[in-house]
Structure 1
Amino acid sequence: MKIVIAPDSFKDSLTAKQAAEIIFNAFAKVAKNNNYLIIPISDGGEGLVSSLTNQLEKFRVIGPLGEAVTGEVGFKNNKKTAIIEMASASGIEKVPHAKRDPHLTTTYGVGQLILKALDANSKKIIIGMGGSATNDLGLGALTALGVKFFNQAGKAVGVFGKDLLEVRHLDISSLDKRLAQREIIIACDVKNSLLGKAGATFVYGPQKGLKTIAELNRFEDAFSRVSNLLENVFSKEATKVAGTGAAGGLAYALFLASKGIIKQGFDVVDEELKLKEKLINTDILITGEGRIDKQTFEGKAPFSIGKAVLDVSPNVLIYSFAGSVEKDLTQTVFKEIIPLQNKNESLESSLRNAQQRLYEKALQLALKLFNRQ
């Protein structure tokens, strides 16, 4: 029997690789003689690099709050391909809850990591957009890459979200020319365009720390104004392109500044790993992520790999673990969704015990599947 174990990360508790190993250990204890294939996956957020390569290089870069942090670039094919997670430099997990505020965060470190990939002479650069702490329209990243932004008085502005509100002019003459000479793939885990009620600011700003309608409107106005400036100098319209709202508009900025292509993150993983070839003749697929909700079925990794395996193994049984599950979901992909969070248990408690809980739930599933209860 062929069993594929392919979870995404469980936010705030387990990486995709850790989750895959836990599930495998539970299943192997019950039925070790199956053909197991372990594939940690990602939809463009946390785990993108580790799902595609184990060759990592670490660099000191500017973090989301302007502090020094250690960011990573993954390489494969003798450095011909570089993989970057924006969250490695500018992720929300690097910002304490009390300090989460898009006025005070920057994508500057992401630009620094892109420069490291350019310096390595990588021909293809994949940049995952998930997990951002930022809503700066890529101001920080573009500044690191050579773009200059100015206020009404012609003075250079800073690199944080609050500085975007002051931008009235810009100059792209010093933008690193190598950016346009590389294949840039912007891997998004959302499909939101840049502006409007379904755009970057209004949908994700509150999750990142914007607290009032006035704050949301100020950022939306800045996005509208600065996107006009960017589109004038790059001679390209992009505010309505799906995915440009990812990472607080970073996807939009990189799409304009390079000859980049925006793709759904899982599709990038699928192409790089040739997943569908590996999924042929699968009997059971085990996947999972931190939360299964309506967004899961808009292209998140568990749903996407479920659809992919059904294309090549139509009789497969698909099970998904989840830290928590939205009530009253209607779906046809998973035979069963198994929450780690017990009834009446706090999310904090289930996260604290995620490793043990996932092992126990996976063991229960294996015993049920192989009639060894």
Structure 2
Amino acid sequence: MFDQSPTGRRLGAEWESHNRTFMSWPALESVWKRDLRYIRDDIARVARAIADYEYVVMLARPDQADAAQRACGRQVEVVPLPVDDLWARDTVPVFVEQQGIVIGVDFNFNGWGNKQVHDNDAYVARNLLYQFQIRGEQAPLIAEGGSFETDGQGTLLVTESSVFNANRNPGKDRDRIEFELKQTLGVTKVIWLAGVYGEDITDAHVDSLVRFVAPGVVLLDTAFPGMPADSWSRAADQARMVLSNSTDAMGRPLRIIDLPQPDPYKVSAYDDDMVTTYANFYIANDAVFLPEFGDRKADRRARDILQEHFPQRDIVPVRIDVIAAGGGGIHCSTHDLPGRPAD
């Protein structure tokens, strides 16, 4: 058993039981322009796939709820709630447990450091907590759910670029931010990775770089062999160095397993902004949902790696070309609520 946080809180691992998955119906024509209909197709496809395994709630603007329901099908519950975009991982509260009670923490979403205006998404966390009558609180710092990766046993992985950044937390040093993360999330050890400042809208969220698949075991996004070094591959190399010299909250060394990207020349609909990491997968009840990019060999290799670590779960590939071209993945578009599965 890991040493419990003095706060009595615990941030659970994603492979633990989910009550449901929250998602959001994209609404911003100013962001998606002519691709809005296609990004909605991707989101509906992800929602339908997850709904085969656990309860899915799609948040949608009241005037768009009927259209979202038609696209997602009857197995998905559409709840009218003002949203702007699809990034539920970052706008929905981060859920922790304390004395058997789920608490939703509002991390004060500010459009990833005020890079975009999200007037509705700034209030999604508090509105959702009110709508679903979940106990909530406001965090003392600004961050997004994609900033955090945990083993459920007290270890938190974070990129400095996405949290220790003046566009989120001006005037706070890293020690102060770490203290606030420990108090708020109930973790006991924070492992800081450098990340990448300013080259994507999230400032390099950890959930596209490295993910736990079990306590002491992480999958690390790695570039396709032979590709020239860039800021992203250098960030992965730095993460490997830090992780290989770190122990988790229980003192275990970390086992690092490469999760290679596809060949960019074999990726369907590839463009320069496309996120082609397999690390942005989502672990649901009895299944893992994995991006599929069109490089058959690489897609199959990623499925095999995930299947090895989740032998009791189905590995479900989902095409997300427009989501990926928009800078995200399946994990970015989903957010799990811990607890007994909903009926």
Give me the TM-score of the superposition, normalised by structure 1.
0.28
Give me the TM-score of the superposition, normalised by structure 2.
0.30
Q: Greater share of helix residues, 1 or 2? A: 1
Q: Which structure has more RCO (C-alpha within 8 Å, separation ≥ 6)?
A: 2
Larger Rg: 1
Q: Greater share of strand residues, 1 or 2? A: 2
